[in-house]
Structure formats: structure tokens, C-alpha cells
């Protein structure tokens, strides 16, 4: 062993010791943060005003996107509605206008990067700079790996995560310039735990959760703390995309219930929203519980839905 190698190893060991000592000295601060968090549970959070903000919602022609548009309309926001479904989009816009909001519709294919970029240019020219971006558009295919066609896997990632990159790249610069804005990522509980026969969907939603977390850290590193981020992670929702879903965690959620939690989370600037809130605890437990116990717990949760199985077991 050379002298240089010994020096390098000694230096690395010294750094590790310094890190553990520094971490130990943070324990009193940890206790303060825990107490602070517990106190916040009993103190109503201040809700910010979003009156006059330009809100862009992808996937606004149905389900969560449509209901989110209605709630922002009630808050006197100017709405930019994107969806590939023109009829659904127009229905959403009509109701938003009845609620007293201005609503601009754009038929956009969120699986197409160039369509996203060209539509973003039109929005800036015709409506103005978006200050709240809700990346909600999503697709899901309920099938095992072998029954999920290659184009379906590609589309899942194009819509569920790559579109988040393209919309954020298009609208975030102006938010950063003003140090004001909000990026909302609609992910899923499936972005925190694996579910059989939702392989492509889970993978894309894990990526969406990672996108939200990394973007949050990047904005902090760039000192653009006026641009807020929120990630929504709900359980099964009654939108018709997944057939006959059930779980022992409770009944299938209605869009109105989920969107009420989302809007409250945006207005109080929550970073991560689980619906139901018990998913927060389960997500934490998955990080600390032994693997064998987790397997039993998942069987107890008993997630079920209709799915296409391409793999054929022997004897069947």
C-alpha cells in the first residue's frame, strides 16, 4: 500500500467521522423541528390568494383535471385548459365560464413534445404567462408486462412523465424570473409502491414523484423559493380509467374529494399530498418495515382491479 493510498483512506475516514459528528450535533434541532411539526397540526394553515393567476391544467377534459378547473374557476383564476378530447374540453370550459371564470381551450396531445411546445407558444401569445401549472394528464393500461404493447409503454411515459418536462421547461422560466409560481405534479400512490399489473403506470408515477422532489430541490438550490411545488398522490379514483378497483384501505375515491384536498394543498403550499392521508403512514412504513412483513401487509391491503394477463402459467 502506497503512502498516497493510506493518505486517501485516512482522509475519507476523517470526513466520515466529521459527518457523523455534525449529524449528531443536529439532534437538538431535529427535536425542535418535530415539536414545530406537531404544533402545526393544531394551527390552521394560512391559505394564499390565487385570484387573477393564470392556471394551466393538462388533461382538463375529464376527471381530476375537470374538477380542478372548476375549483380554480371559483377562485377567480384565468384558466388555460389542455386536453386531447375536444368535446370534453369544451364541456369543462362551458362550466368554468358559468362559474364566472375566463377559460381558454387548446386541443393538445400531451404525448407529443412538439405539440406541447407549439401550444405553449400560443398560450403565451394569446393569454399570457402561466403562473400555476397543473400537470395532470395521464394514461393507464391495466395489464401484465407481456400483455402491455410496446407503444402503450411508450405512451405511458410520454404522457405521465415526459410531458411534465416539456410543459415545465416551457412555463417555468417566467415563474423563475418573477420568483413566483406553482408547479403541481399529479402522481399517484402507485408512485410510492409497486402494484402488480400496473408495471408501466407505476414506473411512470415513480418518475413523476422523483421529478417533483428533484425539481423542488433544484428550485431551492437556485434560490427561486417563490416558485412552489406540490405533488398529489391519491389511491384509486372513480374516473373510469381502471375497471372495478378495490382495496381494504377504503372505498374508491370520488374526484371531488381528491380535488378538495389538492386545492387545499396548493393554497397552503403543501409539498406532498396523500389521499387518503393514511397512505403517508404506509409510505413511511414501507421504508422501515422488514420485507417479509411488508409482503403480508400488502396481502392484507388486497388491491384488486380488472387486468389483462398475457403470461400463461403451466397447466392453465
Q: With a cut of 70, which residues of the chain have pLDDT below it?
A: 1-11, 19-20, 22-27, 29-30, 32-41, 313-316
Looking at residue 60, what is its pLDDT?
Answer: 98
| Distance in angstroms (rounded) separating the CA atoms of residues 127 and 79 | 9
Looking at residue 312, what is its pLDDT?
Answer: 79
| Distance in angstroms (rounded) separating the CA atoms of residues 226 and 275 | 26
pTM for this model (two decimals):
0.87
Query: Over the stretch 65-95, which tens digit does the pLDDT of each residue have?
Result: 999 999 999 999 999 999 999 999 999 999 9
Domain covering 54-300, topology: Rossmann fold (3.40.50)
Looking at residue 28, what is its pLDDT?
Answer: 77
Q: Which of 186, 170, 235 is nearest to 69 (CA)?
A: 186
CA distances from 238 to 27, 48, 105, 126 (A): 44, 29, 25, 34
| Distance in angstroms (rounded) separating the CA atoms of residues 43 and 165 | 35
Outline where DSSP puts E strands in 60-197.
Answer: 78-83, 103-107, 132-135, 181-186
Catalytic residue among 70, 117, 201, 311, which?
A: 201
Contacts 24+ apart (CB under 8 A), 270-276: 270/230, 271/212, 271/216, 271/229, 271/230, 271/231, 272/212, 272/230, 272/231, 272/233, 273/230, 273/231, 273/232, 273/233, 274/189, 274/233, 274/234, 275/232, 275/233, 275/234, 275/235, 276/235, 276/249, 276/250
Cell 399489473 sits at which residue? 197
Domain boundaries, the chain: 54-300
Is 201 an active-site residue?
yes
Cell 403480508 sits at which residue? 296
| Distance in angstroms (rounded) separating the CA atoms of residues 69 and 65 | 6
Cell 486517501 sits at which residue? 8
| Distance in angstroms (rounded) separating the CA atoms of residues 306 and 312 | 17
| Distance in angstroms (rounded) separating the CA atoms of residues 107 and 227 | 27
Vertex 76: Cα angle to 72 and 77 (nearest 5): 60
| Distance in angstroms (rounded) separating the CA atoms of residues 131 and 210 | 22
Consecutive H or E run containing 122: helix 113-126
Alpha helix positions (H), 145-277: 150-157, 163-178, 199-221, 255-267
Looking at residue 314, what is its pLDDT?
Answer: 58
Q: Which residues of 258-294 are buried (b: 16+ CB within 10 A; e: fewer)?
A: bbebbbebbbeebebbbbbeebbebbeeeeeeeeeeb
Looking at residue 191, what is its pLDDT?
Answer: 95
Looking at residue 41, what is its pLDDT?
Answer: 62
Q: Give the SS3 label for residue 22.
A: helix
Cell 378530447 sits at which residue? 85
Q: Which of 165, 156, 116, 118 is nearest to 138 (CA)?
A: 156
Amino acid at each position: 500500500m502506497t503512502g498516497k493510498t493510506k493518505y486517501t483512506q485516512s482522509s475519507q475516514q476523517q470526513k466520515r467521522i466529521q459527518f457523523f459528528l455534525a449529524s449528531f450535533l443536529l439532534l437538538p434541532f431535529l427535536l425542535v423541528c418535530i415539536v414545530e411539526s406537531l404544533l402545526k397540526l393544531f394551527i390552521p394553515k394560512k391559505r394564499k390568494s390565487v385570484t387573477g393567476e393564470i392556471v394551466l391544467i393538462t388533461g382538463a377534459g375529464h376527471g381530476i383535471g375537470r374538477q380542478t378547473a372548476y375549483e380554480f374557476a371559483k377562485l377567480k383564476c384565468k384558466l388555460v385548459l389542455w386536453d386531447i378530447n375536444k368535446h370534453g374540453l369544451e364541456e369543462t370550459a362551458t362550466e368554468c365560464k358559468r362559474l364566472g371564470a375566463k377559460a381558454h381551450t387548446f386541443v393538445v396531445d400531451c404525448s407529443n413534445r412538439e405539440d406541447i411546445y407549439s401550444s405553449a407558444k400560443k398560450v403565451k401569445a394569446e393569454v399570457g404567462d402561466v403562473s400555476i401549472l397543473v400537470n395532470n394528464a395521464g394514461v393507464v393500461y391495466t395489464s401484465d408486462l407481456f400483455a402491455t404493447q410496446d407503444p402503450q409503454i411508450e405512451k405511458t411515459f410520454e404522457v405521465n412523465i415526459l410531458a411534465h418536462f416539456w410543459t415545465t421547461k416551457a412555463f417555468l422560466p417566467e415563474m423563475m424570473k418573477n420568483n413566483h409560481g406553482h408547479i403541481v405534479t399529479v402522481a399517484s400512490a402507485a408512485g410510492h409502491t409497486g402494484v402488480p399489473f400496473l408495471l408501466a403506470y407505476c414506473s411512470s408515477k415513480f418518475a413523476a414523484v422523483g421529478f417533483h422532489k428533484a425539481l423542488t430541490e433544484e428550485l431551492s438550490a437556485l434560490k427561486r423559493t417563490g416558485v412552489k411545488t406540490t405533488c398529489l398522490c391519491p389511491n384509486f379514483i372513480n374516473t373510469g380509467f381502471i375497471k372495478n378497483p378495490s382495496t381494504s384501505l377504503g372505498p374508491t375515491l370520488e374526484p371531488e374529494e381528491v380535488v378538495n384536498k389538492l386545492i387545499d394543498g396548493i393554497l397552503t403550499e403543501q409539498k406532498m399530498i396523500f389521499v387518503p392521508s393514511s397512505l403517508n403512514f404506509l409510505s413511511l412504513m414501507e421504508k422501515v418495515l422488514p420485507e417479509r412483513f411488508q409482503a403480508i401487509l400488502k396481502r392484507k391491503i388486497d388491491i384488486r382491479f380488472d387486468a389483462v394477463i398475457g403470461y400463461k402459467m403451466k397447466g392453465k
